[in-house]
Chains A and B, each alone.
Chain A
């Protein structure tokens, strides 16, 4: 397993001067999983975006260290896999086209097509790999997102509401991915489902974090 540390230092985010959350700090190492719990609208998705480097925090910073080397903020995406409702596939392309496209843009060195097919098999969409994504059911789209997020074997896997749109079988696959990621690196899950909490080494509850009223 690679040596990875992920730390958030006193993160604060405001939108239109309304404080979404404040003073969020935590530190994770490889093999650990972390759950961000909270109701809808508690700022889970916003925090996820900040952790992935997609949104800049009002204050504070996210630091990632891989094998003893600090990762530059603009290169964070290389080490992160994200599954989120905001992370969509190109619907006019087929499943396999999406995955190979992502591999090429990322500049992956390994055999992209082989890896992609392997993942599509794992997530049970191999038969439909040549169909356009727009014809997929929402469960299939969700499974394709998993394949897309794992293609570059990320050190840090971030899941925002991972079990939405999935049936029993799909949820079992998600559990398997979670276990697998804990052996590979860091797992971060944002959820409001109680079932997900038992996969956590530590939990951050945003409902409790939320400050009463903002100043400044």
Chain B
């Protein structure tokens, strides 16, 4: 296991370091979040909107923000011509795990930011069970990172990368999106923590299944 994880950690550091220096993904993501939030606030205006609709909108913003930036991790290697470099440095599994970790950290910080901004700016969106809400944000980030990473690896090899990403991701992510929306709705309705166990189970097993399949299939995608 250390054989795989040690290189993965260094690949993660490499990506984070590179991201902090170039801010390729971060700037785009931040601008997307601000734009999307502003649009939602404008369109909602002073209307009275139900909390289940607001829970849905939150995850719509998260999904599309993720789609605008999460493919960078593989697409940038392809564009810079550093795929061969990475292939010569470590095994496919290490690359996948490194990228997975990077995407997870990226989307978790993004989701926390979106959630905080959303809670501050949309006054009708009140969370009655914060524990459910924050666990959902955390597990939702795990499962979004798991599927977005392998799909990013696939589209990095295709010609039309940008438009293809949401097209391929949406049907794969729909079960998890429906689940997090439902869990978020529960948290606004003041449900007890145990009521959301079913949702959490789905999110955890989704993550485990997708990561396992990704590890099995990644070398087919990664090698030319």
List residues of A whose CB falls within 8 A of some B CB: 49, 52, 54-56, 74-75, 77, 80, 82, 84, 86-93, 101-102, 104-107, 148
* Cβ-neighbour of A90 out of B10, B80, B88 (below 8 A): B80
**Are the C-beta atoms of B18 and A106 separated by less than 8 Å?**
no
Q: How far is the CB of B217 from chain A (nearest CB, A)?
A: 15
Q: Is the pair A77, B22 in contact by a Cβ cutoff of 8 Å?
A: no
Q: 17 A-B contacts, Cβ less than 8 Å apart?
A: A54-B87, A54-B88, A74-B91, A74-B92, A74-B219, A75-B91, A86-B83, A87-B88, A88-B80, A88-B85, A90-B14, A92-B18, A93-B21, A102-B85, A105-B10, A105-B89, A107-B7
**Which residues of chain B have C-beta atoms less than 8 A from A89's C-beta?**
82, 85
A92→B21 contact, CB < 8 A: yes
- For the complex of A and B, the 6 pairs showing the least CB-CB separation, nearest first, are A88-B81, A104-B10, A105-B89, A86-B84, A105-B10, A55-B224
- Whether B18 contacts A105 by the Cβ 8 Å rule is no
Question: Are A77 and B89 in contact, with the CB atoms below 8 A?
Answer: yes
How far does the alpha carbon of A106 sit from the alpha carbon of B11 in the complex, in Å? 10
Q: Give the residue name and chain of the A residue nearest to B8 (CB).
A: A105
B88 touches A52 (CB 8 A): yes
Name the distance in Å between A188's Cβ and chain B's nearest Cβ.
14
Chain A residues near B205 (CB-CB < 8 A): none
Residue from the set B17, B22, B83, B87 with the largest chain A CB neighbour count within 10 Å: B87
- Cβ of B201 under 8 Å from chain A: no
- Do A82 and B14 form a contact, CB below 8 Å, given A56-B223, A88-B80, A90-B80? no
| B71 CB → nearest A CB, Å | 18
B84 adjacent to A77 (CB under 8 Å):
no
Q: Count B interface residues, CB 8 Å.
A: 25
Q: How many A-B residue pairs have CB under 8 A?
A: 67
Complex contacts, B6 vs chain A, CB 8 Å: 107
Determine how close the nearest CB of chain B comes to the CB of A88; give it in whole angstroms.
4
Instruction: Name the distance in Å between A47's Cβ and chain B's nearest Cβ.
Output: 13
B18 touches A90 (CB 8 A): yes
Q: Does residue B90 face the partner (Cβ distance < 8 Å to A)? A: yes
CA distance in complex: A193, B39 (Å)? 60
Chain B residue with the shortest CB-CB distance to A46? B224
Instruction: Kindly name the residue among B7, B14, B89, B90 whose own CB sees the greatest number of chain A CB atoms within 10 A.
Output: B89
In the complex, the chain A residue whose C-beta lies closest to that of B18 is A92
Are A106 and B89 closer than 8 Å at their CB atoms? Answer: yes
* Nearest chain B CB to A146 CB, angstrom units: 14
Instruction: Indicate if the CB atoms of A105 and B224 lie closer than 8 Å.
Output: no
Question: In the complex, which residue of chain A has the Cβ closest to the Cβ of B87?
Answer: A54
Flag if B18 contacts A93 (CB, 8 Å): yes
Which of B6, B7, B85, B224 has the most chain A CB atoms closer than 10 A to its own CB? Answer: B85
Determine the chain A residues whose CB is within 8 A of the CB of B7 once the complex forms: 105-107
Across the two chains, which residue of chain A brings its CB closest to B94? Answer: A105
Give the distance to chain A from B76, nearest Cβ to Cβ, in Å: 10
Smallest distance from the beta carbon of B122 to chain A beta carbons, Å? Answer: 37
* B84, A80: Cβ atoms closer than 8 Å: no
Contact with A along B48-63 (1 / 0, CB 8 A): 0000000000000000
* Interchain CA distance A84-B82 in the complex, whole Å: 11
